[in-house]
Amino acid sequence: MNEEVFAGIKVLVANMHRDDTSSKLEPLGADHDSTDGLNPNVVVVDEMHAMKDRGMLDVMETATGARRQPVIYEITTFGDDPVSPWGDQNDYSQKILDGVLVDDSFFVFTTHADPEDDWMSPETARKANPNYGISVNPEDLASKVLKAKGIPSAAATYKQKHLNLPGNATNPCLSVDGWRKGQTPFREDSLEHESCYVGVDLSTKIDLCSASFVFPPTPGRKAWKVIQRIWTPADTLKDRAHADRAPYEVWAEQGWLTRAPGTSIDHTLVREMLVSMRALYDIEQIGFDPWHAGTLIHDLVKLDGFAEAQVLEVPQTFAGLASAEATFKALVLAGEVDARGCPVTSWAVSNVVEQVDGKGNIQFTKKKSRGRIDPVKSITIAMSLALRDPARMDEGPMAEWL
């Protein structure tokens, strides 16, 4: 070790510093209001799962703005609260590891046991702890395992703190690998004049609006094909991209996301799109989330010539969607849903969280999901119509899902 490097370092109660380089190493408290004016090169955030809010992290990220090559290290074990700074970063990290999002400025390194591993074995401990036998004492872990065998709460703590397995955190329910396996770059015009069902999730006018054209399997095709149309307000796109941690601008440039003029989405855009697509595809039925859909349904029937039996409300309830969403979950796992590799939909798939009622029925819930899931909800609205269409009950590839 070069002693000259340390020769000029002075030690105080609050920091270590060097006068000749105007540099210091200093621990910071949790009060982010007292940290303005900092200009750090390196920030180390330890035990991030314990952070109560993003205040300190936001201050540090802003403070590094004047540096050419700043680095922020965030060190943590698995946390409990998905709605927390740790939850946000963990969700974002997982999407990068899964290839759902790309961010070359964000490096993720994680080690953990897998749920099927024997949590009591030394091999599993070694797998989850790269410094096993160095800074991690095998005898200490062995004693904790011995205690955990007889105390359930100690077992939960050991799994979370030493094996990095989820504690009480809510996890996405759809297979990202299965979804990725099903994607192909098919051309939209390859499905012209085929029969399809349309699901529309209007959501709110200030976020995302999604319409999904779902083409059931045919004798020559096992996969369900999906063509997506997704809108978002143009004027607030940058702010919402930051808030949702999603590359909306990139997706818009690539053509996967349509910028709606202004700060909200005019539902006339949806209506005009449905009328134009009617000339290309054989639309059997169109299903809507009833929320905000009344005027649009009226106009499609009275002004645009769609039959009343063709335009339907689909309740966003267990009764309305449980069957379709359970089917969708199984299809995704099997790699049998193909949305042309739409990255907005891939992101939505990775966000979905389900809730289960007393009868075991599932429903994809927006309230608990870790991001927007509108493109998935519109697919399942359309799929619910296809699955209950009597005309298709006995058609080969469809029959196994009915």
pLDDT in tens, 376-389: 999 999 999 999 87
SS3 368: coil
User: What is 176-225 written as a DSSP string?
Assistant: HHHHHHH-----GGGGTT-EEEEEEE---TTS-EEEEEEE--BTTB-SEE
Average pLDDT, integer, range 74-84: 79
pLDDT value of residue 170: 53
| Residue 1: per-residue pLDDT | 47
pLDDT of residue 68: 87
pLDDT of 14 reads 80
**56 or 376, which is more confident?**
376
Torsion of CA 169, 174, 176, 180, to 10 degrees: -170
pTM for the structure as a whole: 0.72
Question: Residue 36: its pLDDT value, please?
Answer: 62
Residue 28 CA to residue 32 CA, distance in Å, equals 9
Task: Spell out the alpha helix ranges (H) of 212-314.
Answer: 237-244, 248-254, 268-277, 294-302
- SS3 call for 260: strand
Q: SS3 of 42, please?
A: strand
- 8 pLDDT above the threshold of 90: no
Please list the residues that pair with 230 across neighbouring strands.
210
Q: Which residue has the higher pLDDT, 288 or 390?
A: 288
Query: What is the pLDDT of the chain when averaged over all its residues?
Result: 87
Most confident of 19-33, 53-67, 86-100, 326-340: 326-340
- Average pLDDT in the 128-153 region? 90
Asked whether 178 and 332 are in contact (CB, 8 A), the reply is yes
Is the predicted pLDDT of residue 373 greater than 90, yes or no? yes
What's the mean pLDDT in 248-275?
Answer: 94
Domain annotation for the chain: domains and CATH numbers: 3-97 (no CATH), 122-163 (no CATH), 176-399 (3.30.420.240)
Exposed, middle or buried by CB within 10 Å (0-12, 13-18, 19+), for 368? middle
Query: What does the pLDDT read at residue 4?
Result: 58
Q: What value, to the nearest 5°, has the Cα angle with vertex 363 and ends 360 and 364?
A: 140
Q: What's the gap between Cα 55 and its chain centre?
A: 23
Cβ proximity of 384 and 396 under 8 Å: no
Q: Is the pLDDT of residue 172 over 80?
A: no
Residue 57 has pLDDT above 90, yes or no: no
Residue showing tokens 């969280």:
353
Q: Tell me what pLDDT residue 169 has.
A: 47
Confirm if 94 and 110 have CB atoms less than 8 A apart: no
| Residue from 169, 147, 168 nearest 158 by CA | 147
Looking at beta carbons, which pairs linking 182-188 to residues 24 or more positions away fall under 8 Å? 182/223, 182/331, 182/332, 182/334, 182/335, 182/336, 182/337, 182/338, 183/338, 183/339, 183/340, 183/341, 183/346, 184/338, 184/340, 184/341, 185/340, 185/341, 186/225, 186/338, 186/340, 188/227, 188/340
Pick the range with the lowest mean pLDDT from 120-124, 215-219, 243-247: 243-247
Reported as a single tens digit per residue, the pLDDT across 15-38 is 888 888 788 888 887 666 656 667
Q: Is-contact 200 293, C-beta < 8 A?
A: yes
pLDDT for the residue numbered 167? 60
pLDDT at 262: 93
Quick one: pLDDT band at residue 126, thresholds 50, 70, 90? Answer: very high
305 and 366 Cβ atoms separated by less than 8 Å: no
Longest dimension (CA), the chain: 85
